[in-house]
Structure 1
Amino acid sequence: MIPDLSPFLHLRRFVSIAHHVPGRIRLKLDLAALIHLPTVDPAPFVALVGRIQGVKTTRLNAAALTVVVEYDPQLIPAAVWPRLLVADVDEVERVLAAHVV
């Protein structure tokens, strides 16, 4: 089951792809997002990321406001990542449902 992602989907407008090669993506959070973060419980999102097939590791750099995700590009196509930043809720849930165990 996928948790309610609406608090995180709202924050996508503050996220950009800083660097991406198949198998490794660095996501950058804009400083403007910091005002919204205290109102968002990260636990459901963290638990969900841990259940995505193909995600090998995630590393947070709080000082740089970045997250690096290493993943298996055979299981998660590189084109999925930019779609997750712009897709509507239904598409995001479909994509995640296909990859969550």
Structure 2
Amino acid sequence: MPDFEELRAFLREVRIAHHIRGRIRLKVEAAAVSIDFPRERAQVFQSLLDHIPGVRSVQVNLLARSCTVQYDPALIPERAWSDLLDGRVSDAAAILERILRDTYVEIGNAKP
């Protein structure tokens, strides 16, 4: 399993395609997808999203290089997604990053 900082590097290749309160569609930039694309990072990212408190569902579309996340905006602030992906320092981004880190540790500890 890649470490969290490798996963953070993968997030630099993700952009927001569409966002309404409680639902966001994320897209991996085409330049990041190649024959040697680190699929393990994408799989860890999907698993991470599946386990985040406040995430209701995750639907992945491999052909479109996108995933749609339905989430509870009471637990994950709406601005958190854009702030985190754009590298903006904000309270909202800090909340989402903390949730991601905590969930990442839980997933890592759960694996034998």
Q: TM-score, normalised by structure 1?
A: 0.74
| Partner Cα separation in structure 2 for residue 64 and residue 86 of structure 1 | 21
Match of 2:98 in 1: 94
| Partner Cα separation in structure 1 for residue 35 and residue 10 of structure 2 | 8
Alignment of 1:1-101 (within 5 A): 4-35=3-34, 38-42=37-41, 43-87=43-87, 91=94, 93-97=97-101, 100=103
CA gap of 1:6–1:14, structure 2 versus 1, over 3 A, is same
Q: Tell me by how many angstroms 1:20 deviates.
A: 0.4
| Partner Cα separation in structure 2 for residue 9 and residue 65 of structure 1 | 18
Q: Tell me by how many angstroms 1:16 deviates.
A: 1.0
Give a deviation string over 1:39-70, Cα, whole Å, max 9, x none: 35245433322321110000111111111000
| Matched pairs, number | 96
Return 5+ residue gaps in structure 2 as ranges.
89-93, 107-112
Match of 2:110 in 1: none
| Partner Cα separation in structure 1 for residue 82 and residue 48 of structure 2 | 18
Larger relative CO (CA 8 A, sep 6+): 1 or 2?
1
**Letter of the 1:71 counterpart:** Y
Choose between structure 1 and 2: higher helix proportion.
2
Give a deviation string over 1:69-101, Cα, whole Å, max 9, x none: 00011111101111221348xx46434357x47
| Partner Cα separation in structure 1 for residue 45 and residue 18 of structure 2 | 22
Two-structure CA RMSD over aligned residues (Å): 2.7
Q: Tell me by how many angstroms 1:18 deviates.
A: 0.8
**Letter of the 1:11 counterpart:** F
Which stretches of structure 1, 4 residues or longer, exceed 4 Å deviation after superposition? Answer: none
Return 5+ residue gaps in structure 1 as ranges.
none
Report if the CA contact (8 A) 1:7-1:40 is conserved. no
